[in-house]
Amino acid sequence: MRILVTGATGFVGRYLCPLLAAQGYAVTAAVRSAPERGIDGVETVVQVGEIGPDTAWRAALEGQDAIIHLAARTHVMNETETDSEAIYERINVGGTTGLAKAAAEAGVRRLIYLSSVKALGESSGGEPLTEETLPAPEDAYGRTKREAEKMLLQIIETSNLEVVILRPPLIYGPGAKGNLLSLLRACDKGLPLPLGQIRNRRSLVNLENLADAIVLCLDHPNAANEIFLISDGEALSTPGLIQHICQGLGRPSRLLPFPVWGLRLAGKILGKTDAIDRLTGSLEVSNAKIHQQLDWTPPVNMIQGFERTAEWYLNQRNRSKND
């Protein structure tokens, strides 16, 4: 089977492409521009330029059986663009819609779309989110991920293209960036963190688990035209997350029992309300549908996942010291 992967140079793509190749798939990467270093497992690289409504996909789609669409404008912590919503719209909605329409015309059988739990919202309240939860996205990223989902569901009504939509929460594993990398660094330095009194529940998904589910969805007949939430099957509090990280690093966790109301007040004063809400709030998802419908169980548990993430981080840190 020939697979086109967009976003092949990203966090998920660089793990997924060699995994696909090892399982006998022929992998083509659709990239914006030629990568600085090679992509393991990729047979062919096709440059498609900027992703948006007018992207020319014809050359990349020739002879492909399926597509794994990872490329997106992701959540930007310190947004500097004056019209960021329009940029999210162009890439996440226009780019996805254009790819799906071109795929349908080219006779591609299946498209797997990596969406996000943020298409549903930012919190789960007292019960885990499910595929039946009414979407209520709160930021440009979540809104455009949800809009792209809706466009895909419209396209399959008038074509033979099959679509599988996966909604992961926070993805962690070797190569992690952003907030998780910041936490790894803070824990490695032994910094005291004022998060000991937080009592929330947040789902995560390990990179290996996500990739395993993506590969399963390429062929599984019960995955066609379905939406699945996906996680490691466990939920952690923010203190629990830090303890897992510290355990993997071989460091003591230094959690200070600072009151949550104090964190929220500090966030308001410093203009970091959204960041504090993510640290203190719950965002838990249910794996029930993908388990029941596809018989999928995460192959890697959280302890293993954080051990491997910590091992990667320590290797990177030590390599930087030696350079």
Q: Which of 175, 177, 238 is nearest to 203 (CA)?
A: 238
- 172 labelled catalytic: no
What residues contact residue 142 under an 8 Å CB cut-off, 6+ apart? 116, 118, 119, 120, 121, 122
Distance CA 159, CA 274 (A): 40
String of b and e for 215-245 (b: at least 16 CB within 10 Å)?
Answer: bebbebeebeebbbbbbbbbbbbbbbbbbbb
Q: Are 228 and 131 in contact (CB under 8 A)?
A: yes
Catalytic entry in 113, 141, 172, 313:
141
Q: Which residues of 263-300 are buried (b: 16+ CB within 10 A; e: fewer)?
A: bbeebeeeeeeeebbbbbbbbbbbbebbeeebebebeb
Distance CA 252, CA 157 (A): 54
Helix (H) or strand (E) holding 235: strand 235-236
Cα-based distances in Å from 155 to 3, 49, 214, 218:
20, 24, 21, 18
Contact 137, 119 (CB under 8 A): yes
DSSP 171: E
- Residues linked to residue 111 through DSSP beta bridges, in sequence order: 67, 163
Please give the positions annotated as active site: 141
